[in-house]
Amino acid sequence: MNRTQRLTLIGIFLGIFLAALDQTIVATALPRIVQDLGGMDKYAWVGTSYLLASTIGVPIFGRLADLVSSRMLLLWAIVIFLAGSMLSGLSGTMEQLIAFRGLQGVGGGALFAVATTTIGLLFSPRERGKFQGLFGAVFAIASVVGPWLGGLLTDHLSWHWIFYINVPVGAVAVYFIAVHMPALKPASTHRFDLGGALTLALWTIPLLLATSWGGHEYAWTSPVILGLFAWAAAGLALFVYVETHTREPLFDLTLFQNPVFRWASVALFFFGAAFLSAMFFLPLYLIQVKGISATMSGLTITPLTLGAIVGAIGSGQIASRWGRYKPLMIGGMSWLLLNFLAMHWIIQVDTPLWQVLALMVSMGLGLGPGMPLFTLAVQNAVPPERMGTASSATQFFRQIGSTIGIALMGAVLAASLQSQLAANLPPQFSGGKVDLSAMRDPGALERSFEQSLEQTLTELQEALAGDPEAKAALLQNPLLPDELKGMLQGPPPPEAYRSMILERVRTQLQKQAEELKLQMTTALNLAITEAMKQVYLYAAWLVVLGLAATFLIPDARLEGRAHFSPED
């Protein structure tokens, strides 16, 4: 690697770090943002707008990388991202923040697409492996740093700085790319397929919205979700029609005739679903069951991420030295399958924390190779004029798989939780219905009991004073002792006795609340653990499908030279 390539990589990795960081840094700052800007009903859209824009931006900018200079496109991607960052930090309303997060998402998706393509153009097939591995490692590091940095900046400066921090780092990336990166111009000129871009959005947006909202904002069988799925299906049919009748399509569907691209895309879809299933739900178990503090909650997936970093870098280095990728793919997916099954079989409420952390590191080692190797295989199998389209497609299918995978595993988690809670909750909680929205907060259960106790005492005081509504509410309270209910059905006691009755009831209810709290905690911990086991069992089937597709990828050696020299 010469000086030009090295300095170009610095700029690329800085840009990738920022785009990956912004996918996680906002989460810890959102409560403060809502407190300042209002718009609690639009809370989820801050993340959804970024997801939609970045997912659509990946294939569009991947195709543009086949049409124009990669250097110019990468600079535009960073500028769009930084503009979105500055405007997000300056937002005065939630609507403005949502819109500018979408602009950020366009820049972030463009960064991922063009950076991956640039590595494929700048280096030979044998060299790409180690740099694609570093690409995956940078992404993994950003996912760990993001929540921690978001909380730090929000607590010590303000939430605006989670966006402003991108500007100086992005300016450094712009310098390295503008000054040191070769132009990497395509060999010939082509037309951009605007119709393909519009119809891509026509099916991608409703699909992502349906999978993001299903089971949360709306029931899966609601008219809204079913309508979105129908819209996505119709949009996909129109997209395929447009792409098969366009001379220079946005997404050349003939790429699926290439068996490496075809089966790598299928494998990446299932890999993406399994990847986020492994990461997304673990904090719930670690915080609620294993008692990791709220201040450390942003770092709960660090062991898994560290394993993924080692797996990504190591597999990339081995592929570059060995000149083969398929055995490493199969080995990584097989190891991941074993670890998912181990999580299903081993994890219990009383499993020592060190065993859980060790399994997370081991699981990360299986996830890591999938980050660089599938892209490496695809880039090795396509001509340079289709490098951008093919490279961005690998990210697009992984992203779609991740979104659908989280939706499916979320449904598995919710169904398992509800059935386990119904079986294990104290009999006073008929039907096993509890509010699961605050489960990631380990103090939520205790606060809930305290609020319930104070509300009961307030109602009791009002009932003893003769309030018929308070009396009716208390008679319906399953936690109130039968003796007290019998007393309430008679005439109100003299005022002199009311304070004595209240104090005696307070002591009795506090003792009862402590017992119920222990029973509730035990039931919740058991339900969460069993639900996690089910998630990993179903996720193992996703890995099996991904592994089957991986076996069908033709094996090939990494040979040849870079398509462009650094002086181009």
d(CA 483, CA 467): 19
Query: Is residue 568 in a domain?
Result: no
Q: Does the pLDDT of residue 193 top 70, yes or no?
A: yes
- Find out whether 299 and 147 touch, Cβ atoms under 8 Å: yes
Query: Is residue 378 in a domain?
Result: yes
- Structure-token pair, residue 94: 């939630």
Query: Is residue 470 in a domain?
Result: yes
- For residue 550, the enclosing domain spans 259-434+513-560
Contacts of residue 152, Cβ cutoff 8 Å, sequence gap at least 6 = none
- Find out whether 459 and 509 touch, Cβ atoms under 8 Å: no
Q: Does the pLDDT of residue 436 top 80, yes or no?
A: no
Q: Does the pLDDT of residue 341 top 90, yes or no?
A: yes
216 and 181 fall within a common domain: no
Q: What is the pTM of this model?
A: 0.76
Beta partners for 218? 214
213 and 99 fall within a common domain: no
Query: Which residue among 166, 192, 218 closes a domain?
Result: 192
d(CA 29, CA 175): 30
DSSP string, 254-316: GGGGSHHHHHHHHHHHHHHHHHHHHHHSHHHIIIIIS---GGGGGGTTHHHHHHHHHHHHHHH
481-532 tens-digit pLDDT? 666 666 666 666 666 666 666 676 667 666 766 767 777 777 788 888 888 8
50-67 tens-digit pLDDT? 888 888 888 888 888 778
Contacts of residue 517, Cβ cutoff 8 Å, sequence gap at least 6 = 445, 446, 449
- Find out whether 239 and 202 touch, Cβ atoms under 8 Å: yes
d(CA 421, CA 295): 27
79 and 125 fall within a common domain: yes
281 and 332 fall within a common domain: yes
364-411 tens-digit pLDDT? 888 888 878 888 888 888 877 777 788 888 888 888 888 788 778 777
337 and 406 fall within a common domain: yes
81 and 203 fall within a common domain: no
pLDDT at 231: 92
Q: Does the pLDDT of residue 124 top 80, yes or no?
A: no
Query: Is residue 92 in a domain?
Result: yes
175 and 235 fall within a common domain: no
268 and 158 fall within a common domain: no
State how many domains the chain has.
4
pLDDT at 546: 92
Between 18-22, 27-31, 405-409, the lowest mean confidence (pLDDT) is in 27-31
d(CA 283, CA 34): 23
Arithmetic mean of pLDDT over the chain: 79
Q: Does the pLDDT of residue 25 top 70, yes or no?
A: yes
Contacts of residue 414, Cβ cutoff 8 Å, sequence gap at least 6 = 215, 436
Query: Is residue 565 in a domain?
Result: no
Cβ burial, residue 443 (10 Å; 0-12/13-18/19+):
exposed
242 and 203 fall within a common domain: yes
167 and 231 fall within a common domain: no
Q: Does the pLDDT of residue 562 top 60, yes or no?
A: no
- Structure-token pair, residue 374: 């599938």
d(CA 530, CA 536): 10
Query: Is residue 567 in a domain?
Result: no
d(CA 327, CA 373): 10
